[in-house]
Structure 1
Amino acid sequence: MPKRILQGVVVSDKQEKTLVVKVERRFTHPLLKKTVRRTKNYHAHVENKTQKVGDTVSIQETKPISKLKRWIVIDEAAATE
């Protein structure tokens, strides 16, 4: 099974080797035919943390690292703003 890669914005960088990344997905509502936005926070592991709150990063699915961490940061994309 291929590992999923998601892109999101760093919401919190207060923990030692963990970033909290907010990922937004958009889809069309099946009945209303309106675009709906849903967000979800993921805890991602990072060894040497250079990212700050507001940076855009890519995260990849991996084996469980801790109780909440199942993702790792693979690279830092350029900020859109």
Structure 2
Amino acid sequence: MNSPDYTAKGEDLGNRMMKVDHAGEHGAICIYSGQLFMARLFVPGMVDELKEFLSHERRHRTVFQEELQRRNYPR
């Protein structure tokens, strides 16, 4: 009985996971952007913290984008 080749499948799975993570970071950016908009109107005391969170998510998205490019895998 031959053992299955997990290498190619594992690499594809890794690329797909990177793509999902990148999409998740993009979603988080959209959410924080909306929260920031509303906080400016209704809860100004939260604006600075939300700006910081948004900055973190933008950095995370950049990391995933760079890794996808390094792997030559589409966004």
TM-score range, shorter chain: under 0.3
Higher relative contact order (CA 8 A, sep 6+): 2
CA radius of gyration, larger in: 2
Q: Which has the higher helix share?
A: 2
Report the TM-score when normalising by structure 1. Answer: 0.23
TM-score normalised by L of structure 2? 0.24
